[in-house]
Amino acid sequence: MPGPGTYLPDATEGVGRVEDLPAPRVVRRSRNFPRRICPRCARSAYRLRTATRKLHDLGDPVGGRPRELHITYSQHRCRHCNHYFNADMTDLALPNGHYTHRVVNTAVRIVVEDGLPYRTASWHLWRDHRVFVPFATIQNWVEASGEKSGTASPARVPRRRARRVQRVHRRR
Ligand SMILES: [Zn+2]
* Per-residue model confidence as pLDDT tens digits over 43-60: 999 999 999 999 999 998
Does the residue 7 lie in any domain? no
> How many domains does the structure of the chain reveal?
2
Neighbours of 31 (CB within 10 A): 17
Q: How far is the CA of 83 from the centre of ligand 1 (A)?
A: 5
Q: How far is the CA of 34 from the centre of ligand 1 (A)?
A: 15
Of the three residues 73, 98, 123, the one that is the final residue of a domain is 98
Of the three residues 98, 113, 135, the one that is the final residue of a domain is 98
State which amino acid sits at residue 163.
Answer: R
pLDDT at 171: 40
* Per-residue model confidence as pLDDT tens digits over 95-143: 999 999 999 999 999 999 999 999 999 999 999 999 999 999 999 999 9
Q: How far is the CA of 53 from the centre of ligand 1 (A)?
A: 24
Does the residue 127 lie in any domain? yes
Does the residue 35 lie in any domain? yes
Domain assignment of residue 114, given as a range? 101-172
Distance of CA 109 to the CA centre of its chain: 12
Question: Which residues have CB less than 5 Å away from ligand 1 (the ion)?
Answer: 38, 40-41, 78, 80-81, 83
Does the residue 11 lie in any domain? no
163 versus 40: which is more confidently predicted?
Answer: 40
Of the three residues 98, 126, 151, the one that is the final residue of a domain is 98
Q: Are 31 and 87 in contact (CB under 8 A)?
A: yes
Q: Are 109 and 172 within one domain? A: yes
